[in-house]
Amino acid sequence: MQPCLLLVLALLGTASASHPAPHHSQEVPGMAEEGRWFHYAVVTKAHTYAGAQWHCREVLRGQLASVHSAARNQQLLNLARTYTHRRKLWIGAVTGRWGGKWGSHWEDASPWNYANWAPTYPHRLFTTCTTLSARDGLWRSKPCSQLHPFICQY
C-alpha cells in the first residue's frame, strides 16, 4: 500500500488491521472466569465509543474492558496511568433506559456486579458510555460520540 494512502486511511480511521493504532498491553489474571487470563491493551489514539469497540473486536479480537472488582479497577487504573495522564478512557459499560428502567450493563454481557461511579454519575438523561478516569479511577458517563483513548480486554 502506498505511504500516502496509508496516511489518508489512518486519518480517516480505516487503516487495515495490519496497521493498527498504537497500543500497549499487559497480562493480568482474569477474575470473571476462574483460571482465565486476560490481556489488556491501552489504545492511546482517541476514538468514539463505537470506534473503540470496533478496534477492540477487529484488531485485538476482544472487547472494551469490563470491570468486576476494586482490584481489577485498580489494575486498569495503574495500566492507564502508565500510558496516559489526566485522561478519561472508554471501558465497556453503557447506561441507558431498557424496558422502561434506567440501568447499566457490560457490552460483553458479563454480570453487573461492581461499579465505581464518581459522585452524581451515571447520568440518566440519554444513553451514555462509560469512561475510567486515569486521574482518580472513578467512572463517568459521557456522550458516546466523544473521542477518548480506551482499554480493550482480549
List the domain range (segments joined by +) for residue 61: 40-93+104-153
Structural domain contains residue 3: no
Structural domain contains residue 65: yes
Mean pLDDT confidence for 25-49: 74
Structural domain contains residue 85: yes
Q: Which ranges constitute the DSSP H helices of the chain?
A: 3-12, 49-60, 70-83
Structural domain contains residue 2: no
C-alpha cell at 101: 428502567
Q: How confident is the model at residue 30 (pLDDT cuts 50, 70, 90)?
A: low
Structural domain contains residue 88: yes
Q: What is the pLDDT of residues 76-88, one digit of tens each?
A: 999 999 988 779 9
Mean pLDDT confidence for 42-70: 96
- Total domains in the chain come to 1
Structural domain contains residue 111: yes
Q: How confident is the model at residue 151 (pLDDT cuts 50, 70, 90)?
A: very high
Structural domain contains residue 28: no
Structural domain contains residue 53: yes
| Arithmetic mean of pLDDT over the chain | 83
Q: What is the pLDDT of residues 15-24, one digit of tens each?
A: 334 445 567 6
CATH of the domain at 136: 3.10.100.10
Determine contact, residues 52/43, Cβ cutoff 8 Å. Answer: yes
